[in-house]
Structure 1
Amino acid sequence: MERTAASSVRIEPWSDSDLWLLRRANAPELMDHLGGPESEEQLMGRHGRYVALSADRTGRGRMFRIALAGEGEAEAVGTIGFWERTWQGREVYETGWAVLAEFQGRGIASAATRAVAEQARAEHKHRYLHAYPSVANGPSNGVCRKAGFTLIGECEVEYPPGNPLLTNDWRLDLHADR
């Protein structure tokens, strides 16, 4: 496969059959900046939330699997989505992603993040899409930069709940000209 796979990236709605992908994305090397892998019970809860969010058509957000189109069936290589949250007194969308280790470094996460921003923009609901990667997660901060987000500054978020995490607040204006 070529060095960059970004041109073949697509996002597909999360479905009940994607639990295996969530389990793969729960690998220690992918969860290192997020407090470590989740238990099976936590994964089942997350999967249920992903399925419900993808079925919701009220603009609260959507979850997707990241897929690489090729000859035949697309290969699932990661997860991405956007969801509502209250940030500094205002309703915004938040995004987050995970690309399986063997597919990293090819521009896949940046392409998927641009695609999910388009999905959030199409909702015509919130002005901003935020991402909060750990300040220590250079690759995810790079994804934000490449996807056109603006660095607002450092902040502390709880993830998982009860665990303070020093992150960067990246923001994308969904109303701005592309």
Structure 2
Amino acid sequence: MDSSQQPAVELKPWSDEDGLELLLALNTPELTEHLGGPETPEKVVDRHRRYLRLDGRGQMFRITLGGEVAGSIGYWETTWQGEEVWETGWGVLPAFQGRGLAARAARLVAAEAGAAGRHAFLHAFPVTGHGASNAVCRKAGFTLVGEAVIEYPKGDWHPCNDWRLAVAG
């Protein structure tokens, strides 16, 4: 199927109505293996509330494919090597994996971050051993800057790749 025949990938702003349900669906051992494992239900609720309160310091989205909710992606402010940048991260539900959806969504979220202004670069920090997330970065047009060590979640340090994409015109 060529790209003109593929269902449309869209980003829908995070909402109180179904955002929490999506986060709970993404909070499985398989989907959080490279993120330190599943969070407690209380931490998932806290994350949902943080997503709703980004207030110009980023934006979270539900990824939809042909109108069906398929995952989440977003961008938020962070300080990296002394510079304010946008950071991005995503999760795709198992039924939608393997279709290039995350890379398509990453290109869309890069455009959103660029339109928001404020920062010149969007970074992604997938764990070095997470082939799928590193492939998403490559396919979405990010440049591999090098390896880094990132703390996530708090107190848990991981070797990651630092991928960067210029989003400011």
Flag whether TM exceeds 0.5 (same fold): yes
Unaligned runs of 5+ residues in structure 2 are: none
**TM-score normalised to the size of structure 2?**
0.94
Q: 1:101 aligns with which of 72, 94, 97?
A: 94
Please tell me the root mean square deviation across aligned C-alpha atoms, in Å. Answer: 1.6
Q: Deviations over 1:148-171 (max 9, x none)?
A: 000001100000011001100000
The amino acid across from 2:61 in the alignment is: F
Q: Is it true that 1:19 corresponds to 2:20 in the alignment?
A: yes
State the distance in 2 between where 1:175 and 1:77 align: 28
The amino acid across from 2:14 in the alignment is: W
Instruction: State how 1:1-178 maps to structure 2 within 5 Å.
Output: 8-17=8-17, 18-53=19-54, 56=55, 58=56, 60-69=57-66, 74-175=67-168
Query: 118-127 or 3-12, which moves further after superposition?
Result: 3-12
- Say which SS state the counterpart of residue 28 (structure 1) adopts: coil
Which 4+ residue blocks in structure 1 deviate beyond 4 angstroms? 2-7
Q: Deviations over 1:88-121 (max 9, x none)?
A: 0000000000000111010100000000000000
The amino acid across from 1:42 in the alignment is: K
How many positions carry a matched residue from both structures? Answer: 167
State the distance in 2 between where 1:155 and 1:132 align: 8
Q: Deviations over 1:33-70 (max 9, x none)?
A: 000000001101000001112xx2x3x1100000012x
Question: 1:9, 1:66 within 8 Å by CA — same for their partners in 2?
Answer: yes
Question: How far did 1:11 drift?
Answer: 0.4
State the distance in 2 between where 1:84 and 1:34 align: 19
State the distance in 2 between where 1:92 and 1:7 align: 32
State the distance in 1 between where 2:74 and 2:47 align: 12
Question: 1:65, 1:79 within 8 Å by CA — same for their partners in 2?
Answer: yes
Question: How far did 1:175 drift?
Answer: 3.0
**TM-score normalised to the size of structure 1?**
0.90
Unaligned runs of 5+ residues in structure 1 are: none
Task: Summarize the Cα distance change of 1:175–1:65 in structure 2 as closer, same or farther, 3 Å threshold.
Answer: same
